[in-house]
Structure 1
Amino acid sequence: MPDRHNLLALPSPEEMGRIDHLASATVPVAVLMENAGRAVARAVRRFTRPCRVLVLCGPGNNGGDGYVAARHLSDAGWPVSVAALAAPRSGSDAAAVAARFRGPRVAFVPEEAARADLVIDAVFGAGLSRDVGEPVSSVLDAATRVVAIDMPTGIDGSNGQVRGYARKADLTITFFRAKPGHLLLPGREYVGTFEVRAIGIPASVIDAVDVRTWQNEPGLWKLPVPGLESQKYSRGVVSLGAGEAMPGAARLAATAARRTGAGLVRIAAGKAAAIFRSNEPGLIIDEQPLDELLKDERRKVWICGPGLLPEEVGEMLPKLLEAGRCVLADAGAFSWAAGKPDRLRGVAVVTPHAGEFKRVFGAPGTDSVAAARAAAAAINAVVVLKGATTIIAAPDGRAALNIHATSALGTAGSGDTLSGVIGALLAAGMDHWEAACAGVWLHGDAGRRAGDWLIAEDLDAHLGAARDAATAQQEKTRAS
């Protein structure tokens, strides 16, 4: 049974090519192609009732999968025709399976696509290396419904970007593992209903390929479970800097840290201490100078930025780093480090949204995963690039893509809550990257539970249930 890291791996098209090559040493390509095409035919039969089908085939292995799917649907009594963009290379596996399809061949033109009730897109797969234009764009544009094999034609499997043209699919079937382009925008919006099917590639093959990108789910990380002798200091202390201008942000982060399981949460409020005195009774409010607070070696984890002005961050963050503390930097820290990313070097985790990332590191461009990785390496810290697909990148090149969330999290204060969640996991002793991955997932799960019109304060009530859900998934994975 492959481990969870293996199952959650997101190989790039180049890595998938190496996996296919290694697999072909034990499973012939012709067998893999047959299995892939059969899987597509079965998916189509589940997707819709028998109807007129046109299969658009490219000249490569993706097209080969299409010829196999066409043959299986035809054998099941469906009216199927094939339109080839170009013939497969003579002597190739794709040419062999193309010859086995005995049904009608039609021209690769928009009129044929318009006549069909369903078009199967087997033109190009995830490994697309050039922009898509005519005649492919016109033909796909004419289709009423589209089922894509591997990846909708025109979507780059490595970064989800549209290469010239892409048509949204109603259903996409890929093989062995999902690819980054299936989860990243805009590609994620083009796949429609999404299925991953096994086609006989041994799971062990992936161990020989250094895949460094995963889908973020429990099992990629393991939450710490308090033991019988756990107490507040063993569960971890989270400290937060706070100011007078935006006290609500610190409150949100502090409450989230407590709800996620921190043993003790303290707000270093200084002269603003009076503002926080009416907070929850379990919070400790400190008004002593930071230098005095840092004498307590039990206070290892600090959150710096939520509710702080840039100049306040400038006063606090260098002292925290000089004292060797584990620091999560957010919010005001990005205004202080705008255009000066070296100011963040030495922190453990940063959690910018796209605008904050641009302010500090520059625009991420078309490859947001590569940009997050580069930023993580530049400051030697985990970068959590928040968005519809949140990217969690480590300095050593590991990256996780999180889609376990909801657009309802796009509300003021939600990011402060995330900081508190991750801070609690850091205080519990988790690896920095794993704590960030787990925190993003828990935050997203709480958002799903809170409903479509949540406000940040609503998330706190669901963080315990999110932890329970993650732990249950961990146990299920271990049992299997």
Structure 2
Amino acid sequence: FDPARAARAGLVIDAVFGAGLARDVDGVAAAVLHAVRAPLLAVDVPSGIDGATGQVRGFAPQAALTVTFFRRKPGHLLLPGRSLCGEVICADIGLPAAVLDAIAPRCFANAPGLWHLPAARVEDHKYRRGHVTVAAGATMTGAARLAAGAARRAGAGLVSLMAPDAATAAILRGGEPGAMVTEEAAATLLADARRSVWVVGPGLAPDAATQALGRSVIAAGRVLVADAALLTACVGAPEALVGATVLTPHAREFAYMFGDPLDRLAACRAAAARIGGVVLLKGADTVIAAPDGRAAINENAPPSLATGGSGDVLAGTIAALIARGMAPFEAACAGAWAQGEAARRIGPGLIPEDVIAALPAALQAAGIVQQKVD
């Protein structure tokens, strides 16, 4: 066990440390692992990967293949652990599934079966499928239009764009004909109980007026999906969003509100408990956490989703699924998975409008997978 021999090896099997590592890898162990040049097969995780967080403790080698046992760990799904594991195989070593009852896990890989899409009913009508209202801004009308378009494709019965003035309303009315546009004040619209779900943030200014609108939606007892400018407007005052239904921050927005999420899973759970709502921390390893401690890690999002407007589409999708009757945690999980599946089907070069168009096929695929799981 020395660096020179490791450097000469044609194949290296790394079983030095497992997923329960609680200290940094250093000294001779780090030197030997660092010297590896051949393909590396990791047992459980590449040594140095924290199985709970996916973070590197000191040093971790790049594996070509990782074989783990019974069930995958969060570190197999969270970055950078996921990338360093290479291909992951979960091997059956004879542990009965009943062991899970004793463990009572609260963290899951996000996929159909963890959640179920609402079934279409013959007696459905547009109000039963829910009314989503998207607050639009005057300068970035496209963001609200993307959220509204996604909400329509994800099955909301009605989708309205709330314009701040007549000029913005005219621009919005030049878009797709199925999206309704209103210039009525938020207070008037909130008095209509049928407007059950609101998306606030995409395309708005990150100012006191946006924060006030978010608080008004919460005070009215409506479902609030908070994104973009509403999150930025609450920097330093995350308590303004206590009672929001779903928050969808990216890493920088999350850091401004709650602190740097070095441990994404723990940080997301803590934020959800603090807000009393679901927090979806966006990224290649999106984490969705509920205030009761449940969490899911999404692993199907391709890099092509890293483009402006994807978050607006996600917010609209989640809003529609809640409007259709899904619980917030399940809707956020389903929305993240469906967006990843839609992007996978599109391939490179996608723009957010492509994702909106592909949402019906992605949701249909979720239903097919769900049936196989069931």
- The equivalences for 1:174-189 within 5 A come to 174-189=68-83
Kindly state the Cα deviation for residue 343 of structure 1 after the two structures are TM-superposed.
0.7
The answer to whether the 8 A contact 1:382-1:432 is kept is yes
Q: Equivalent residue for 2:297?
A: 401
Q: Equivalent residue for 2:280?
A: 384
The answer to whether the 8 A contact 2:132-2:199 is kept is yes
Kindly state the Cα deviation for residue 321 of structure 1 after the two structures are TM-superposed.
1.4
Q: Equivalent residue for 1:317?
A: 214
Query: Deviation digits for residues 91-148 of structure 1, max 9, x if unmatched?
Result: xxxxxxxxxxxxxxxxx11232233211111111111122111211222233312101
| Structure ID, larger Rg | 1
Q: Tell me, what secondary structure is at the counterpart of 2:128?
A: helix
The answer to whether the 8 A contact 2:113-2:370 is kept is yes
Q: Equivalent residue for 1:219?
A: 113
Q: Tell me, what secondary structure is at the counterpart of 1:232?
A: coil
> Take 1:274 and 1:118, find their aligned partners in 2: how far apart are those partners?
66
Q: Equivalent residue for 1:426?
A: 322
Q: TM-score, normalised by structure 2?
A: 0.97
Query: Deviation digits for residues 356-400 of structure 1, max 9, x if unmatched?
Result: 1111112112x1111111111111010000011000011111110
The answer to whether the 8 A contact 1:155-1:162 is kept is yes
- The equivalences for 1:143-158 within 5 A come to 143=36, 144-158=38-52
> Take 1:397 and 1:216, find their aligned partners in 2: how far apart are those partners?
15
Q: Equivalent residue for 1:159?
A: 53
- The equivalences for 1:366-377 within 5 A come to 367-377=263-273
Q: Equivalent residue for 1:349?
A: 246
- How has the CA–CA distance of structure 1 residues 264 and 171 changed in structure 2, closer, same or farther, with 3 Å as cutoff? same
Question: Does residue 464 of structure 1 match 2:357?
Answer: no
Q: Tell me, what secondary structure is at the counterpart of 1:310?
A: coil
Question: Does residue 436 of structure 1 match 2:332?
Answer: yes
> Take 2:164 and 2:23, find their aligned partners in 1: how far apart are those partners?
58
Q: TM-score, normalised by structure 1?
A: 0.76
> Take 2:66 and 2:216, find their aligned partners in 1: how far apart are those partners?
51
Identify the match of residue 141 of structure 2 among 231, 247, 255: 247
Percent identical pairs in the alignment equals 54
The answer to whether the 8 A contact 2:201-2:226 is kept is yes
Identify the match of residue 141 of structure 1 among 19, 25, 34: 34
The letter for the 1-side match of 2:278 is: V
Question: Does residue 228 of structure 1 match 2:126?
Answer: no
The letter for the 2-side match of 1:455 is: I
Identify the match of residue 13 of structure 2 among 116, 120, 125: 120
Q: Tell me, what secondary structure is at the counterpart of 1:152?
A: coil
> Take 2:255 and 2:156, find their aligned partners in 1: how far apart are those partners?
32
Q: Gaps spanning 5+ residues in structure 2: where? A: none
The answer to whether the 8 A contact 2:217-2:224 is kept is yes
Q: Tell me, what secondary structure is at the counterpart of 1:296?
A: coil
Q: Tell me, what secondary structure is at the counterpart of 1:196?
A: strand
> Take 1:342 and 1:317, find their aligned partners in 2: how far apart are those partners?
12
> Take 1:119 and 1:335, find their aligned partners in 2: how far apart are those partners?
47
Q: Which runs of 4+ in 1 moved over 4 A?
A: none
The answer to whether the 8 A contact 1:334-1:359 is kept is no
Superposition RMSD in Å: 1.1
Q: Gaps spanning 5+ residues in structure 1: where? A: 1-107
Q: Equivalent residue for 1:286?
A: 182
Alignment coverage as a number of residue pairs: 370
> Take 1:175 and 1:288, find their aligned partners in 2: how far apart are those partners?
57
Q: Tell me, what secondary structure is at the counterpart of 2:138?
A: coil
> Take 2:35 and 2:206, find their aligned partners in 1: how far apart are those partners?
54
The letter for the 2-side match of 1:182 is: H
Question: Does residue 173 of structure 1 match 2:63?
Answer: no
> Take 2:4 and 2:206, find their aligned partners in 1: how far apart are those partners?
61
Query: Deviation digits for residues 427-452 of structure 1, max 9, x if unmatched?
Result: 01111100100011011111111211
Higher RCO structure, 1 or 2 (CA under 8 Å, sep 6+): 2
> Take 1:111 and 1:247, find their aligned partners in 2: how far apart are those partners?
61
Q: Equivalent residue for 2:172?
A: 276
- The equivalences for 1:61-72 within 5 A come to none
Using the TM superposition, name which of 466-475 and 449-458 deviates more: 449-458
Question: Does residue 260 of structure 1 match 2:154?
Answer: yes
Q: Tell me, what secondary structure is at the counterpart of 2:191?
A: coil
The answer to whether the 8 A contact 1:151-1:157 is kept is yes
